[in-house]
Amino acid sequence: MSFSVPFNDLSRVPAALKVEITKQTTQVITSGNYILGPEVEKFENELARYLGCPASVGVATGTDAILLSLLSAGVGNGDTVLTMANAGSYTTVAARAIGAEPIFVDVSEDALQMTISNLRISLEASRGIGVQPKALVVTHLFGQLNPEIVEIAEFAKAHDLVLIEDCAQSIGASNGTKQAGSFGNLSTFSFFPTKNLGAYGDAGAVSGNDVKMLDTVRKLRQYGWGNKYSIEISFGRNSRLDEIQAAVLRVKLPYVDSWNESRRAIYSRYVEAAGNKVRFHSAPNESFVGHLCPITVEDLGQVQLASHFTSRGVSTSVHFPIPDHKQKVDLKYRNLVPLPQTESSCSSLITIPLFPELTEQEIETVCSALKALG
């Protein structure tokens, strides 16, 4: 059927913003600087200022951002990385691409985020089999800053773990003092077009507090060069943010906070409209930027829930349907610890539309569908 409410619609770009983006990208085209030029440098500086971090490094994709961060943390063949199994497999893919293995940490029932208690269980299980993880990747899932990120940062430091925040979904989320991406040694960002800050293609960045590691990422993104054609470190690759994407991101960055506020406002209306059976997993405050709106409903399975919205013209999705440890790949530590909440959430939640350009009629249609769930 044709949906009256799309899950997302990237064509809904305000006219004034289109003009501004066209102007800036045209300037790049006529400049003759296309790779690692002034637009990338300016965006890196502006992103670092926005996050409150000493520096940022533009890279080709969000997954590359994780991979290069792991390499800069000294993770390599045979090493292990603590991470979540309900966040789309991006860290698992990045870790395995450099010969490392993920060790999974279960999540909380309410926010579906990594917790200190579950982190401790997985670390102790690792050490119980003689394995000491080198890094910890915490995903601020759905756009919700992990509620325990301060404690997790302290835990990582105490246990000699490099902390990498995966902020692909959470740019702009804050605990009132610090931004997502400014708690760890490193932080990674995806600017895939659907993200709260989206490019017009693939793009990513690494930021954080460890200047030495950031310098390593800067070299790794371009073959490991210290200077042109002079390789200083191993395992470098070609992962560069291009000038046109940087120009698009520079135009959009000043709007992120207002777009996030719009997302929160829509989310709040959903929460208000829904009945008691509908469960939301984030709080509509500054710690949440409304990247996604997953819900679960008492006594309704995923298929039934999706069918309910489909019958009312609302498109839905699932983020994410298959937990990492259930993927069809050879994972050495897939069953090291039980992951009951991870498995439960992946099999029960669906995601409903949440983006700033939703019309009033579309928002009301979603609210009506939520109300009907009782």
Question: d(Cα 200, Cα 18) in Å, to the nearest integer?
Answer: 12
Give the pLDDT score at 374: 82
Question: Lowest-confidence range among 2-11, 345-354, 357-366?
Answer: 2-11
* pLDDT at 3 exceeding the cut of 80: no
Task: State pLDDT tens for residues 203-247.
Answer: 999 999 999 999 999 999 999 999 999 999 999 999 999 999 999
* pLDDT at 1 exceeding the cut of 80: no
For residue 15, what are the contacts with CB-CB under 8 A and spacing of at least 6? none
Task: State pLDDT tens for residues 56-71.
Answer: 999 999 999 999 999 9
Give the pLDDT score at 138: 98
* pLDDT at 353 exceeding the cut of 90: yes
Mean pLDDT of 109-122: 98
Question: Lowest-confidence range among 49-53, 274-278, 367-371?
Answer: 274-278
Give the pLDDT score at 242: 96
Question: d(Cα 180, Cα 174) in Å, to the nearest integer?
Answer: 6
What is the token pair recorded at 145? Answer: 């800053």
For the chain, percent of residues with pLDDT exceeding 70: 99
Task: State pLDDT tens for residues 20-79.
Answer: 999 999 999 999 999 999 999 999 999 999 999 999 999 999 999 999 999 999 999 999
Give the pLDDT score at 298: 86
Give the pLDDT score at 2: 60
Task: State pLDDT tens for residues 130-153.
Answer: 999 999 999 999 999 999 999 999
Task: State pLDDT tens for residues 81-104.
Answer: 999 999 999 999 999 999 999 999
Domains delineated in the chain: 15-254 (3.40.640.10), 255-371 (3.90.1150.10)
